[in-house]
Structure 1
Amino acid sequence: MRLNKLFASILLVGATFSGNTLAESFQPFTVTDIQVEGLQRVALGAALLNLPVKVGDTIDELKLQQAIKALYASTNFENIQVSRDDGVLIVAVKERPTISEISFDGNKDIKDEQLQESLDGSGVKIGESLDRTMLSGIEKGLQDFYYGVGKYGAKVEAEIINLPRNRVELKLKFTEGLAADIRQINVVGNTVFSDEELIGMLELKDYVAWWDLFGERRYQKQKLQADLESIKAFYHNQGYIRFKETSTQVAMTPDRKGLYITINVDEGEPYKVSKVNLTGDLMGREKLMEALLPIKEGDTYNAAEVTFTEELYSKYLGRFGYAYPEVQTYPEIDDETKEVTLNVGIKPGKRVYVRAINFTGNTITKDEVMRRKLTQMEGAWLNSDLVERSKESLNRLGFFEKVDTETIQVPGTDDIVDIDFTVKEQPSGSFNAGVGYGSGTGVSLQFGVQQNNFLGTGNQAGLNINTNKYQKQINLSYTDPYWTKDGISLGGSIYWSKTDYGRANLEAYKNQSYGFALNSGFPINEYNRINGGIGFRHNTLSELSDNQQTNQFFDIYRDGANDELSFDNFELNLGWSRSSLNRGTFPTNGSSQRFNTKVTTPGSDVQYFKMDLDTKFYFPLTRSHSFVFLARARLGYGNGYGQTNDNDNILPFWENYYSGGSTTLRGFKTNTVGPRSFSVTRDQEFCPDPSGSGCSLPTNPNEIFVRNGRSLGGNAIATASLELIVPIPFLDEAYSNSVRTSFFADAGSIWDTEFDYDSYRDLPATEFAKIQDYSDPSLYRASYGLSVQWLSPMGPLVFSLARPIKEYEGDDTEVFSFNIGQTF
């Protein structure tokens, strides 16, 4: 007989013992052999290794329990039966099945990746053995998650599908159901602040206006905890240091579709600050550190101010190399006087030095280009201000979408660190090439490259070749911003162009020009720079249309009946620029100003000057800089100086200012805002007539006709824009630094200070045209709208939808516009 005795059942470990002879009690025996039956995946040696019984051992009831526990602890078996045949110990096992596949069905609120990550943490993976005892815990955990988001009807069921060779498929079925809406939120116990004021600061809502497309009344446990912390912080910031949230109840409606939330509070009373003590090592700077203290005696206690004070002293100590100071405030509360004494303990710790500064993520930009922008140096003590300024300097380069810093302590030391700058590069230039056809341009060929980080050197290089119906041009430029190690820049450009403005819907004339320019810049400090340059330009003008403004210019320089004029001008440039922007592209904080003066030298064929000022201010409205207010303006003025042929020189019309388009005054077509050319004719045809169908002959031979032409610009400009930059809903955070949306309002005026309106105001008005006072700066235009900017791989793209709110008869308006190559 193989089995001659039945071992007693040991319920504690769930093993089953069987045989053909029943015994009331277990009798110890000596093991002469061990047999393990039922093994498939687990090797015999591994099973015996986990069995704390060997041949020759005497086994009793205690050792038997220990043996069975050890086998279960190996996690390889889901059922174990032991028996004996004389001295042979027989262990019959059933291995846990191997997970061959894991699938999910019905889950919408939880992504498959999140579910798999949770299962991985519990050891439930494909290829591992399945522990059925864990499934109920997994089901309950997932169900609790749904309860936490208000889905109290949710169910989670784990289904096991058996497959050949002791394999299984684990299938998790989800019935999520609908989330219970918050029917009402109540605050009980508050007397100082109203329910509306407290509930208004909560993220959970029991009411959502019809126009709030993104609002919801869905309950989430995590949000409730955050809201309770918000209420607590609010009271602590108002001086109620003893405020307590005594209890919170979340009750479900009978239909399980709604929730009532009740928050019980004990407000307490407001406390004043009786005294602030600075303790610890003040490094001999007691008076200065006391002067920095933002909290004064008699102030109402404010927890946020306390935290700010701790951060302020930590940053202050960080400027002197104390990278890991301990600044902690210990309040002493006097409940009788309702006062608080604040003891600010300061422990600077050791001064920390920088061993090395490393860069990662710059696959294009060379290390030396980044290193020369640093103000924190290797070998010096760690200065938190200099590290932050270095980060801002790298951002202002415009080469990076994101710059992060991390201070890493050198292993084995407590006063030496490395600084790692991690950057994410972005397109730092633009490229265009193609062949096209348009009704306004005809056949066009374009090729252009503008690179502000040429070959990763930080140098600027550009090559542009364009040809279309009205223009042919080529321009080659190059600038080295660090021609010297001190940051003196040197650059130059060579250009040639030939333009027929009459075929470009502008006032008709032809202009052929070529020239070169050299420029250099000198840094004053980190934010300010002086720029200067010299250049030569040759212009040839011909086939000028007949109008009053250009005739005024030609009357000064025209020699007899010659219809073609050439000018050789030598130009000097001098400018100042300042920038404290936190980023080179898509800044969110800081300001920038540029002032530039251009003047032709005495002896040039045309003597004139131009002055331009551009300024921008960015004001972040939130700590995360997701909402930003932008104000920008431009002022410009130009005129001639000296005399030619006994006439006062004026600004040449090809140097006039224009406005309109996607980068200046949106809602108006490019370069159409401002003075237009006009002509005064007598005894001539007027073409076309108002109907646009032909020519009109004057009914009176002596009648005066005034004909308005196309845009000619003016010698003065003033524009301003206000923008609210907002985050784009549903946009992945990874793209937040490459796409920007803003609501804007633009206004601007172009005028001609040399226009003599009195000479034309008395001309009889006709049905064809009416002369405006082009010298009046109050004739401004304005618009508002929406703009989207994208840093695409081809360069910056700007799309605008705009509507004019101030316009004049004859203005060329447009609703949609776009531009390539410039961002605000």
Structure 2
Amino acid sequence: MAAAGPNLQTRRPSAGVDDSQPDVMMTRPLPRRLLALALAAALAAPAWAQSVDPFTVTDIRIDGLQRISAGTVFTYLPVERGDRIDSARAAEAIRALYRTGFFDDVRLDRQGDILVVTVTERPAINKLTVTGNKDIKTEDLMKGLGEAGLREGDTYDRLALDRIRQELTRQYNNRGKYNVEITPTVARLDRNRVDLTITIKEGKAAKIRHINLVGTEKLDEEQILDAWESRPSNWLSWYRRDDQYSREKLSGDLERLNAFYLDRGYVDFSVDSTQVAISPERQDVYITAGITEGDQYKVAKVELAGDTVLPREQVERLVLVKPDQIFSRRLIELSSDSITATLGNIGYAFAQVNPIPDVDRGNKTVDLTLEVVPGPRVSVRRIQVKGNTRTSDEVIRREMRQFEGAWFSQAAVDRSKIRLQQLGFFEQVDVETQPVPGTPDQVDVVFNVKETTSGSFVFGVGYSQLSGLTTQIQLSQSNFLGSGNRVAVQAQRNRFVQRYDFSYTNPYFTDNGLSLGYHLSYREFDNADFNTAQYSTTSRIGQVVLGLPITETDTVSLMVGADSNQIFVGETYSPAPIVDYVDALDQRTFHAWRAELGWQRSTIDNFLTPNRGTIQRVGLEMTLPGSTAEYFKLSYNFSKFWPLSRHLVLNTRVDLGYGDSYGDDVTRNICFTPPTWVDHDNNASTPPVYTPGPAPSEPCLTTSPDFERTVTASGLPFFENFYAGGVRSVRGFRDNTLGPRAAPRPGGTAQPMGGALKTVGSLEMYFPSLLRTPTARVSAFVDVGNVFTDVDAFDAGELRASAGVALVWRAPVGPISISYAFPIRKEDDDELERLQFTFGGAF
């Protein structure tokens, strides 16, 4: 074996894996490394020339490989067998191998005419972990690390890690966190592997202590800063985080400052300087902006130019800017948007309006020309849907109001997006309009959807303060097998109800949108623990529901069904009005043919978490003539969402109900044996023992009034009464406890009876950005309401009110609602319950 010859070329070994010292990162490949390689090769070349003559390579041997194959090295090595190598070729070979990024060290040696390439491989990243990050999501960090060359399985590059550290520091500085610490830790493993951990200590964001505008003379500085996203620390900063400095946020505020003045006619306004000062401890920020306001200008003349497509008079009506008005960039933008939207609705998808101002600084006026460039009229070639892994394509396409082959309409595309959001199947819906290459008069419309959970299976979970622990098996699917049909099956049992339900709805039973649904239910219900009048029922219900959309936002519905309701009452525990009603009809089982006519309008923007829009519903339900009890119920529900800002959404809600009988009152005289009261111990503090008489009987065999009473059945049946109070009504009061009460017997406890008139209203302020998740919302509310025996009994002074906070979370196992309310208008005998919650929604 030939002895090792002299060293041909040596590259200085790297310092190894030492990340204790912070370094500066760059997002571009560093030229310094290549310069170092060239310098090393240049310095080594004279040594090669002096010690060894050039030679012809008869063979090449690679030493030091562990993970990388020799074939990979030969691919990058610019020297082959038979080549003549000298110092220049050796330097070129070293540079080529270093450029691969696979090696920490490369050395060329000669053994006879054999070229020996000795390499030290860089370690592979076995595991990559990021901890301590809150402001930047882990998935976003991992994506950025991968793009920079740091991912599990890749070769570890310390220079890439340095670049990442500097880039992360820059990003956190832009978010106002100047004390951020980013510490990488590298743990060596066997087989030339490393575990890489990046620990981030974000620290607290620097807070804005003062904003100073220098040069404000004509407009109020406080009014100007009201439009800014950046503000000095205030009592709402804990929620809005508006006192946290960031460079991007300040840039946006300076643009708002410019828009603020231009909207008020200050055409010559300019921001002359911006200075941001930070305290030595890097916790406080002071912002100063120097501005020049200039003079206020008016509009002298407004003209339309270009091809308006539509009659010029029609387009002129869309222009909000008029002569002699104060110049306003906002009105110009609104006029331009209105024109482009109108043209976009008739196929001109790429229409533009270019405002051309002609400023007369002498007269302080602006002549404005709006140049309309309609572009080509385009049709829709294809509508594509992406991201629907469960929902069938047909379910999505039937909601489309933009059609393939038709002229493009922005209004139709926007309406299609809203209809998809209202389905409740998708967490997010985005729309793209893509020009067709080579065809300027066609576009493709792409709907990108992100599906959300539209069904649930629950076994043995459910709890509320009212019903206690609920054991149930519930299978519900709003998008059954991706068909858009709704199916629900439930078996439920708790301390007062045993219930079995099945429902099925096909929202597109016909192609024109006629819906058809079925509902079957069996229920045994014991009101003894339900905070209502005590009686028991066994109900059997069968219903068919039809729905027909009459406009884009309006739907009418018709329900027909039959039900049987068996009532169990007792004179010892049921209130007297209930016993009298049942005795008057001499019925324990109420049969009914039932019908309900309803109308609903929905303009909300999102089914799951609406931020704007209105929901209204009017319903008339009645039993048909021939039913055991003939009555009707009217209901009206109204809910409107007002987006006050990106931080606040106001919901105003009204829930009204009224019911009465439409048949004749039923009156009977019944005979009974009076109950007896026996006081055994003659103790006034102990109530006497109550012994009820036997059940009523007919005919009456005596004419004594002591053994005869008159009972009447009138108005809305007691089992159809409205109730109020609780987490879905007036929070802070126990469920169903508001309104009239009645006692079963002398000395008994009065029980809530409900009423034929319900009046409930609410103001609720949602804070959508507080939790930063679309599945949960925090709100503050004021609830007002009560129920009354009938319309004549209504008294505004009897309304109850409460205020508090609430959390609603759409958890994977079902909706969870928690509220804490403080009654602000109550009576001494009201039953209060400040903390209320429900786990699992209504079936």
Q: Distance in 2 between matches of 1:509 and 1:81?
A: 94
Contact 1:576–1:595 (8 Å) recurs in 2: yes
Q: Deviations over 1:172-211 (max 9, x none)?
A: 9999998776665433233223554555554445545598
Q: Distance in 1 between matches of 2:341 and 2:662?
A: 55
Contact 2:76–2:96 (8 Å) recurs in 1: no
Q: Distance in 1 between matches of 2:502 and 2:198?
A: 64
SS of 1:803's equivalent? Answer: strand
**Stretch moving more, 714-723 or 245-254:** 245-254
Contact 1:575–1:597 (8 Å) recurs in 2: yes
- Give the CA deviation at 1:257: 7.0
Q: Deviations over 1:408-454 (max 9, x none)?
A: 33344333333332333334455544399999979975334444333
What is residue 98 of structure 1 aligned with on the other side?
122
Q: Against the structure 1 CA distance between its residues 243 and 462, is the aligned structure 2 distance closer, same or farther, given a 3 Å change threshold?
A: same
Contact 1:594–1:613 (8 Å) recurs in 2: yes
Aligned: 1:660 with 2:731: no
Q: Against the structure 1 CA distance between its residues 714 and 118, is the aligned structure 2 distance closer, same or farther, given a 3 Å change threshold?
A: closer
What is residue 49 of structure 1 aligned with on the other side?
78
Aligned: 1:801 with 2:828: no
Contact 1:400–1:423 (8 Å) recurs in 2: yes
**TM-score, scaled relative to structure 1:** 0.77
Aligned: 1:720 with 2:785: no
Q: Against the structure 1 CA distance between its residues 812 and 328, is the aligned structure 2 distance closer, same or farther, given a 3 Å change threshold?
A: same
Question: Aligned ranges for residues 369-448 of structure 1 at < 5 Å?
Answer: 369-429=395-455, 431-434=457-460, 445-448=471-474
Q: Distance in 2 between matches of 1:801 and 1:148?
A: 38
What is residue 766 of structure 1 aligned with on the other side?
none
- Give the CA deviation at 1:272: 2.0
Q: Distance in 1 between matches of 2:424 and 2:799?
A: 34
SS of 1:18's equivalent? Answer: helix
Give the AA of the match of 1:654. F
Q: Deviations over 1:547-598 (max 9, x none)?
A: 453355346424xxxxx53333322322222222222333222112111112
Q: Distance in 1 between matches of 2:132 and 2:117?
A: 36
2:750 paired residue among 688, 709, 728 = 709
Q: Give unpaired runs (5+ residues) of structure 1.
A: 24-28, 559-563, 689-707, 756-773
What is residue 508 of structure 1 aligned with on the other side?
534
- Give the CA deviation at 1:527: 1.7
Give the AA of the match of 1:618. F
What is residue 832 of structure 2 aligned with on the other side?
813
1:591 paired residue among 595, 611, 614 = 614
**In angstroms, what is the RMSD of aligned CA positions?**
4.8
Contact 1:96–1:130 (8 Å) recurs in 2: no
Q: State the identity %.
A: 33
Contact 1:632–1:720 (8 Å) recurs in 2: yes
What is residue 614 of structure 1 aligned with on the other side?
637
What is residue 780 of structure 1 aligned with on the other side?
799
Q: Against the structure 1 CA distance between its residues 594 and 73, is the aligned structure 2 distance closer, same or farther, given a 3 Å change threshold?
A: closer
- Give the CA deviation at 1:231: 2.1
Contact 1:557–1:644 (8 Å) recurs in 2: no
Question: Aligned ranges for residues 85-124 of structure 1 at < 5 Å?
Answer: 98-101=122-125
Q: Against the structure 1 CA distance between its residues 124 and 14, is the aligned structure 2 distance closer, same or farther, given a 3 Å change threshold?
A: farther
What is residue 636 of structure 1 aligned with on the other side?
657
Aligned: 1:288 with 2:311: no
SS of 1:368's equivalent? Answer: helix
Q: Distance in 2 between matches of 1:170 and 1:569?
A: 72
Q: Distance in 1 between matches of 2:462 and 2:194?
A: 62
Q: Deviations over 1:372-415 (max 9, x none)?
A: 22221222122111111112122222233222222333344333
Q: Deviations over 1:613-659 (max 9, x none)?
A: 1111111123x5x5211111122211112325577842211111111
Q: Distance in 1 between matches of 2:764 and 2:243?
A: 32
Q: Distance in 2 between matches of 1:173 and 1:365?
A: 41
**Stretch moving more, 487-496 or 388-397:** 487-496
Give the AA of the match of 1:466. Q
Q: Distance in 2 between matches of 1:21 and 1:367?
A: 73
Give the AA of the match of 2:820. L
Aligned: 1:262 with 2:291: no
Contact 2:477–2:488 (8 Å) recurs in 1: yes
**TM-score, scaled relative to structure 2:** 0.76
Q: Distance in 1 between matches of 2:562 and 2:167?
A: 77
What is residue 758 of structure 1 aligned with on the other side?
none
SS of 2:534's equivalent? Answer: coil
Give the AA of the match of 1:633. V
Contact 1:494–1:515 (8 Å) recurs in 2: yes
SS of 1:643's equivalent? Answer: coil
SS of 1:16's equivalent? Answer: helix
Q: Against the structure 1 CA distance between its residues 113 and 50, is the aligned structure 2 distance closer, same or farther, given a 3 Å change threshold?
A: farther
Q: Against the structure 1 CA distance between its residues 639 and 274, is the aligned structure 2 distance closer, same or farther, given a 3 Å change threshold?
A: same
Q: Deviations over 1:431-488 (max 9, x none)?
A: 5443999999799753344443333333333333334454433333333332222222
Q: Against the structure 1 CA distance between its residues 89 and 732, is the aligned structure 2 distance closer, same or farther, given a 3 Å change threshold?
A: farther
Contact 1:797–1:822 (8 Å) recurs in 2: yes
Question: Aligned ranges for residues 6-17 of structure 1 at < 5 Å?
Answer: 14-17=42-45
**Stretch moving more, 327-336 or 460-469:** 460-469
Q: Distance in 1 between matches of 2:455 and 2:281?
A: 61
Q: Give unpaired runs (5+ residues) of structure 2.
A: 10-37, 668-711
1:553 paired residue among 581, 597, 616 = 581
Aligned: 1:747 with 2:784: yes
What is residue 701 of structure 1 aligned with on the other side?
none
2:627 paired residue among 604, 627, 630 = 604
Q: Distance in 2 between matches of 1:201 and 1:11?
A: 57
Q: Distance in 2 between matches of 1:138 and 1:171?
A: 13
What is residue 25 of structure 2 aligned with on the other side?
none
Question: Aligned ranges for residues 330-369 of structure 1 at < 5 Å?
Answer: 330-369=356-395
Q: Deviations over 1:119-154 (max 9, x none)?
A: 665667788788888898777766666765667788
What is residue 770 of structure 1 aligned with on the other side?
none
Q: Distance in 1 between matches of 2:613 and 2:141?
A: 44
Question: Aligned ranges for residues 115-514 of structure 1 at < 5 Å?
Answer: 184-198=210-224, 201-205=227-231, 207-208=233-234, 212=238, 215=241, 219-251=245-277, 260-429=286-455, 431-434=457-460, 445-502=471-528, 504-514=530-540
Q: Distance in 1 between matches of 2:781 and 2:172?
A: 42
Give the AA of the match of 1:748. G
- Give the CA deviation at 1:518: 2.6
**Stretch moving more, 709-718 or 514-523:** 514-523
What is residue 693 of structure 1 aligned with on the other side?
none
**Stretch moving more, 717-726 or 119-128:** 119-128
Q: Against the structure 1 CA distance between its residues 111 and 744, is the aligned structure 2 distance closer, same or farther, given a 3 Å change threshold?
A: closer
Q: Distance in 2 between matches of 1:323 and 1:15?
A: 64
Give the AA of the match of 2:722. Y
**Stretch moving more, 222-231 or 591-600:** 222-231
Q: Against the structure 1 CA distance between its residues 267 and 530, is the aligned structure 2 distance closer, same or farther, given a 3 Å change threshold?
A: same
Q: Distance in 2 between matches of 1:249 and 1:132?
A: 36
Q: Distance in 2 between matches of 1:354 and 1:669?
A: 56
Q: Distance in 1 between matches of 2:223 and 2:465?
A: 61
**Stretch moving more, 428-437 or 536-545:** 428-437
Give the AA of the match of 1:620. P
What is residue 650 of structure 1 aligned with on the other side?
715
What is residue 673 of structure 1 aligned with on the other side?
738
Q: Deviations over 1:726-758 (max 9, x none)?
A: 1253x344xx1x222221111112111288xxx
What is residue 675 of structure 2 aligned with on the other side?
none
Q: Against the structure 1 CA distance between its residues 276 and 593, is the aligned structure 2 distance closer, same or farther, given a 3 Å change threshold?
A: same
- Give the CA deviation at 1:316: 1.6
- Give the CA deviation at 1:99: 4.9
SS of 1:359's equivalent? Answer: strand
